[in-house]
Amino acid sequence: MHTKRTLDEYIIENQNSIPDAAGEFSDLLRHIGIAGKIINRIVNKAGLLDVFGNGGNLNATGDEVQKLDLYANDLMIEYLQNTGVCAGVGSEELEQYVGFESRHNRQRKYVVVLDPLDGSSNIDVNISVGTIFGIYKRKSAVDDPVDIDDFCQKGEALLAAGYILYGTSTILVYTTGNGVNGFTYDPGIGEFCLSHPSMVIPETGKTYAVNQAYYSQFSNEMRNFIDKCAGMGLVLRYAGSMVADIHRALCQGGIFLYPSTSKNPDGKLRMLYECNPLSFVVEQAGGSCVDERGRRILEIPITQLHQRSTILIGSAALVGEALSQYR
Ligand code: P6P
């Protein structure tokens, strides 16, 4: 019987693709996978546990924090600290980054940026949510405490990025800069197994994802593109969960749009925790990712932990068509 390669096997087989990884980088990825399995277990039983509803406070960017957000955030931080190679975590749910003390005499060479549970407003109504992660090499000396410059790095400096989508099945998709692979969780053996090798986003697609309720607030150029989508026979699919909407585009082709609105003139989505990691994945799969000014997301300088951006991300032909409206 053909057994699927597990995430652990795949990571170990490919750890040499990361310079001076020495197994530490693999440890980091594997711990993210373990934390994802635990979050998956809780997300799948949310209705049976007292985890619905919000945690009663707001996160750094003013979003209501759902109880599961807090749970996922704390769990990820605990597992990343236990690796001994992660020096700190920047999270969408935390105002400030968290630094870790050295232990086990291991060198804490990496920092992780996280959206622990993206799309969490969907939890109570059983719609897909996701964890988004990115891994940077720290810039500060390994024996020093982490500082903000370790986190405020351009997306092009990412060593790895990916997401875990808790949907009809749970899939972990990630890249280390050598293509994109997807691993579907098999609860029978408790492992993520390679199910989507070498993912490539179709050049174009049949869906566009945007919150149409804000149509009147969009620029004329964006409205022209959205009108053109309908004219090209594309259909609107919008889950209110960025990971789900972008995974659809990655699999079938399409485009996800979060343009400037009057409420969020610089865009709603966070560069560190959403735009950069997902742009690294989509670019590695052959897609395009720009802001509404046409700048490549991965090249945008990062000056704040909770910096926001507009984003047009997905099939290269559709992103190109959108940008052509602005010329
Ligand atoms: P809106 C979820 O809060 C999120 O960060 C993304 O997952 C999602 O694409 C977007 O915000 C939805 O925002 O303004 O359409 O509700």
Mean pLDDT over 61-76 rounds to: 83
Atom 3 in ligand 1: residue holding the nearest Cα: 119
Q: Which of 115, 242, 257 to mutate to test the pocket of ligand 1 (most atoms within 8 A of CB)?
A: 242
Q: What digits encode the pLDDT tens for the residues 89-113?
A: 999 999 999 999 876 667 789 999 9
Question: From the alpha carbon of 239, which atom of ligand 1 is closest?
Answer: 9
State yes or no: pLDDT of 1 exceeds 60. Answer: no
User: Ligand 1 mean position to 47 CA, how many Å?
Assistant: 22
Of the listed ranges 43-52, 68-77, 152-161, 255-264, the least confidently predicted one is 43-52
User: Ligand 1 mean position to 82 CA, how many Å?
Assistant: 31
Q: State the greatest distance between any 2 C-alpha atoms of the chain, in Å, as a whole number.
A: 61
Residue (of 218, 199, 198) closest to 267 by Cα position:
218
State yes or no: pLDDT of 306 exceeds 90. Answer: yes
Average pLDDT over the chain, rounded to whole?
92
User: Ligand 1 mean position to 114 CA, how many Å?
Assistant: 16
Give pLDDT, residue 46: 72
What lines the ligand 1 site, CB under 6 Å? 118-119, 121, 211, 240-242, 268-269
State yes or no: pLDDT of 84 exceeds 90. Answer: no
Indicate if 150 belongs to the active site: no
User: Ligand 1 mean position to 242 CA, how many Å?
Assistant: 6
Q: What digits encode the pLDDT tens for the residues 270-279?
A: 999 999 999 9
Give pLDDT, residue 238: 97
Mean pLDDT over 67-85 rounds to: 91
Give pLDDT, residue 51: 64
> Residue 81 to residues 101, 112, 160, 258: CA-CA distances in angstroms?
9, 10, 18, 33
Per-residue confidence band for 24, with pLDDT thresholds at 50, 70 and 90: confident
Atom 13 in ligand 1: residue holding the nearest Cα: 240
Among the four given CATH numbers 3.40.190.80, 3.40.640.10, 3.50.50.60, 3.10.50.40, the one describing domain 207-326: 3.40.190.80
Q: Which two tokens stand for residue 232?
A: 């090209």
Q: Which of 69, 125, 241 to mutate to test the pocket of ligand 1 (most atoms within 8 A of CB)?
A: 241
HSE (CB half, 13 Å, CA atoms) of 267?
A: 21
Q: Which of 269, 278, 308 to mutate to test the pocket of ligand 1 (most atoms within 8 A of CB)?
A: 269
Give pLDDT, residue 256: 98
Indicate if 92 belongs to the active site: yes
Marked catalytic residue, from 115, 150, 191, 291 = 115
How many Cβ atoms are within 10 Å of 47's Cβ, its own excluded? 10
HSE (CB half, 13 Å, CA atoms) of 110?
A: 29
Give pLDDT, residue 22: 63
Indicate if 64 belongs to the active site: no
Mean pLDDT over 64-71 rounds to: 80
Per-residue confidence band for 312, with pLDDT thresholds at 50, 70 and 90: very high
Marked catalytic residue, from 24, 93, 150, 191 = 93
d(CA 91, CA 247) in angstroms, rounded, equals: 21
Cα four-point dihedral sign 242, 243, 248, 251: positive
Give pLDDT, residue 63: 73
Q: Where are the domains of the chain?
A: 7-196, 207-326
Indicate if 115 belongs to the active site: yes
Q: What digits encode the pLDDT tens for the residues 153-183?
A: 999 999 999 999 999 999 999 999 999 999 9
Alpha-carbon dihedral angle through residues 34, 38, 39, 43, given to the nearest 10 degrees: 150
Task: Tell me if the domain spanning 7-196 has CATH number 3.30.540.10.
Answer: yes
State yes or no: pLDDT of 43 exceeds 70. Answer: yes
Atom 14 in ligand 1: residue holding the nearest Cα: 211
Q: What digits encode the pLDDT tens for the residues 53-64?
A: 666 676 777 676
pLDDT-above-70 percentage for the chain: 92
State yes or no: pLDDT of 149 exceeds 80. Answer: yes
> Using H for helix, E for strand and C for coil, what is the string for the chain?
CCCCCEHHHHHHHCHHHCCCCCCHHHHHHHHHHHHHHHHHHHHHCHHHCCCCCEEEEECCCCCEEEHHHHHHHHHHHHHHHHHCCEEEEEECCCCCCEECCCCCCCCCCEEEEEEEEECHHHHHHCCCEEEEEEEEECCCCCCCCCCHHHHCCCHHHCCEEEEEEECCCEEEEEECCCCEEEEEEECCCCEEEEEECCCCCCCCCCEEECCHHHHHHCCHHHHHHHHHHHHCCCEECCCCCHHHHHHHHHHHCCEEEECCCCCCCCCCEEHHHHHHHHHHHHHHCCCEEECCCCCEHHHCCCCCCCCEECEEEECHHHHHHHHHCCC
State yes or no: pLDDT of 21 exceeds 70. Answer: no
